């Protein structure tokens, strides 16, 4: 396996570069700048430009599987070619939100950890321990479980109260953190839930959190860092659409960089 960024290495990288930024390559073939043709090859070229303009500003890239699967047969190849373009010292996340019974989970783990060779995959906890364990069996690889997500629908079930008065998502954190360690598990906690971040940080003092929702979803960066960061860093803060689609014109790469610089500056208070 080529990719293997440990917790210590990730922490070092965050402190060296003074950034928590994770750039989300949720590249929609239909939203490419007007100078691009709408082909899978163009998606790779667009991703290459975004990576060139952002790699010094971020520590991580997140690839959202939906946007690649929507390209049909070509999708997996575009994913692979994009992953090959990523710098070696970046933490690569497949944002796939998978979750299925053990023998199926083992096949997904094979697809993502061996074939795509990413550092980490996002997973849904609804099906419980045996849907997550096959991913945790891969040494050096990470599982990122959904905790409290950034969307409106997080209220439907994640914020249901259990009999002991805790929220479902709190139970998910408390139970699932025993399945692995802070060296192979992280959690998705939405930036739109920044006020809950300090209580979540109390439950999990050591785990890294992947935090979506600071860009297009307008979560508060300062509050996320204040409530969520740790001495090690403890955060990967994702922005996708606000960077990728900062401009639809020829200047898309410059504008993408400007947005990444803006976000990184907001993060510097955390160091």
Return the active site residues.
97
Binding of its own copies by 7 (CB under 8 A): no
Binding of its own copies by 107 (CB under 8 A): yes
Q: What is the C-alpha to C-alpha distance for residues 221 and 265, in angstroms, rounded to an integer?
A: 10
Residues 154-173 that bind its own copies (CB under 8 A): 154-158, 160-163, 165, 168, 171-172
Residue of 119, 162, 117 whose CA lies nearest to 144? 119
Q: What is the C-alpha to C-alpha distance for residues 193 and 228, in angstroms, rounded to an integer?
A: 11
Binding of its own copies by 238 (CB under 8 A): no
Binding of its own copies by 38 (CB under 8 A): no
CB 210 within 8 A of CB 186: yes
Binding of its own copies by 75 (CB under 8 A): yes
Binding of its own copies by 138 (CB under 8 A): no
Binding of its own copies by 205 (CB under 8 A): no
**Residues 74-84 as b or e (16 or more Cβ within 10 Å = b):** ebbebbebbbe
Binding of its own copies by 117 (CB under 8 A): no
Binding of its own copies by 46 (CB under 8 A): no
Residues contacting its own copies: total by CB under 8 A: 60
Q: Which CA distances in Å does 218 have to 63, 97, 190, 239, 265? A: 20, 22, 11, 10, 16
CB 210 within 8 A of CB 144: yes
Return the residue of 18, 49, 128, 232 that touches its own copies, per CB under 8 A.
128
126/271 with CB nearer its own copies: 126
Q: What is the C-alpha to C-alpha distance for residues 26 and 70, in angstroms, rounded to an integer?
A: 11
User: Residue numbers of the site for its own copies (CB under 8 A)?
Assistant: 26, 28, 64, 66-67, 69-70, 72-73, 75-77, 80, 95, 97-105, 107-108, 110-111, 115-116, 124-132, 146, 149-158, 160-163, 165, 168, 171-172, 175-176, 241
């Amino acid at each position: 396996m080529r990719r293997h960024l440990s917790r210590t290495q990730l922490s070092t990288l965050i402190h060296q570069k003074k950034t928590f930024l994770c750039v989300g390559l949720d590249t929609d073939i239909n939203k490419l700048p007007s100078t691009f043709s709408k082909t899978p090859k163009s998606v790779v070229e667009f991703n290459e430009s975004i990576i060139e303009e952002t790699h010094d500003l971020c520590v991580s890239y997140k690839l959202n599987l939906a946007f690649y699967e929507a390209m049909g047969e070509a999708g997996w190849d575009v994913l692979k070619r994009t992953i090959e373009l990523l710098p070696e010292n970046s933490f690569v996340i497949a944002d796939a939100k998978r979750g299925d019974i053990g023998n199926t989970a083992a096949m997904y783990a094979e697809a993502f950890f061996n074939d795509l060779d990413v550092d980490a995959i996002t997973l849904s906890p609804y099906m419980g321990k045996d849907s997550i364990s096959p991913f945790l069996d891969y040494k050096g690889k990470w599982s990122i479980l959904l905790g409290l997500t950034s969307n409106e629908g997080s209220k439907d079930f994640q914020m249901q109260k259990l009999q002991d008065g805790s929220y479902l998502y709190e139970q998910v954190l408390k139970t699932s953190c025993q399945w692995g360690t802070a060296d192979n598990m992280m959690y998705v906690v939405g930036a739109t839930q920044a006020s809950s971040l300090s209580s979540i940080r109390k439950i999990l003092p050591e785990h890294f959190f992947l935090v979506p929702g600071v860009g297009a979803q307008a979560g508060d960066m300062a509050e996320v860092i204040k409530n969520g960061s740790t001495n090690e860093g403890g955060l990967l803060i994702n922005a996708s659409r606000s960077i990728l689609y900062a401009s639809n014109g020829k200047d898309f790469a410059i504008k993408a960089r400007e947005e990444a610089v803006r976000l990184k500056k907001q993060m510097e208070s955390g160091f």
